[in-house]
Amino acid sequence: MIKNKKNGELIVVSGPSGAGKGTVIDKILKIRENTVCPISYTSRPMRSKEVDGVNYYFVSTDEFEKKLENGDFLEYARVRNGHYFGTPKKEVQKLLDDGFDVILEIDVQGAKQIKEIFPNTVLIFILAPSIKELKKRIIARGGGENREQLIDRFKTAYKEINQLPKYNYVVVNDDLDDAVSKVDSILTSIKCRVDRIEELDLNTIEEDIHETLVGLNQ
C-alpha cells in the first residue's frame, strides 16, 4: 500500500569542541547499517599514521582551489592556519542515490551551506551538559595550547551554541551511551516521515476497507 523512497537521508552533526560529536558519530556508524561518513578533502599535510583515501583525500592548495572553482564541494571551510577542508558533492549525492544514509560532522557554517543545497537535511546539535563541563573538556582537549588559544576556542563554542535554534534536534552528551541511543532513535524516526512516502496506493486501501466492511456486515 505504501512505497517509501529508496534514497538515503543526509544528516549533519554539529557542536562545539569538546561536545563529543566525533565519538557519537563513530559509535553510530558501528551500530547502524547503511549509514556512512564520506571521506573529506583537505589541503593540510598528511600526519604520521594517516592514510590518503582513508582519513582524508590529501591534495595541494592549488588542487583544492581548482576543485572549489569547479563546484566540487558540498561545503568547505578554510581554517585559521590557511588549510582547506571540504565535503565532496558527487560522492555524497551518489551515496544518497544508492540508499545510504550519509552522516557528516560539520561546523555550523558548513551546516548552513548544506541546508541551502539540500533543504531536507536533518541537523543534529551535540551539546555538553553544562558550560562548566564544556570548559573542562575544551581545556582537556587543548593539550599544549596557550591561554589565548583556549579563550578563542571557548568564544567559538559560544558562537556555535547560539546557532542551536536553527537545528532540528539537540542531544545533550552527558552519558555517551545515552547520547548515542538518542541519535540512533532520531535516525530511525526520520525514516518514518510522511515526506518519505514515494507512492500511496489509495485504491488498494479503499478496496481493503470495502472488503473489511462487507465481511463485518455478513
Query: What's the helix, strand, coil split of the chain in %, to 5?
Result: 50, 20, 30
Q: Provide the residue ranges of all domains of the chain, joining segments of one domain with +.
A: 2-34+101-217, 38-98
Q: In one letter, which amino acid is 154? A: F
pTM given for the model: 0.85
Query: So what's the pLDDT on residue 172?
Result: 97
**Cβ–Cβ < 8 Å for 28, 171:** no
Q: Per mean pLDDT, which range of 53-67, 104-118, 148-162, 175-189 is the poorest?
A: 148-162
Nearest to 110 by CA among 75, 78, 145: 75
Quote the strand ranges of the chain, DSSP E.
Answer: 2-4, 10-14, 35-36, 41-42, 57-58, 73-78, 84-88, 101-105, 122-127, 169-172, 197-200
Query: So what's the pLDDT on residue 140?
Result: 79
**What is 38-98's CATH superfamily?**
Guanylate Kinase phosphate binding domain (3.30.63.10)
Report CA Rg, the chain.
Answer: 21
126: which 3 cell numbers?
551535540
The string over 25-42, giving b where at least 16 C-beta atoms fall within 10 Å of a residue's C-beta and e elsewhere, is bebbeeeeeebbbbebbb
Distance CA 152, CA 83 (A): 18
Using the predicted structure, report yes or no on whether residue 218 has a pLDDT greater than 70. Answer: no
Interval 78-94 mean pLDDT = 93
Distance CA 112, CA 89 (A): 15
**Number of separate helices (H) and strands (E) present in the chain:** 8, 11
Query: So what's the pLDDT on residue 205?
Result: 59
Q: What is the CATH number of domain 2-34+101-217?
A: 3.40.50.300
Compute the mean pLDDT over every residue in the chain, rounded to the nearest whole number.
Answer: 89
Interval 119-128 mean pLDDT = 96
Percent of the chain past pLDDT 90, that is, above it, reads 67
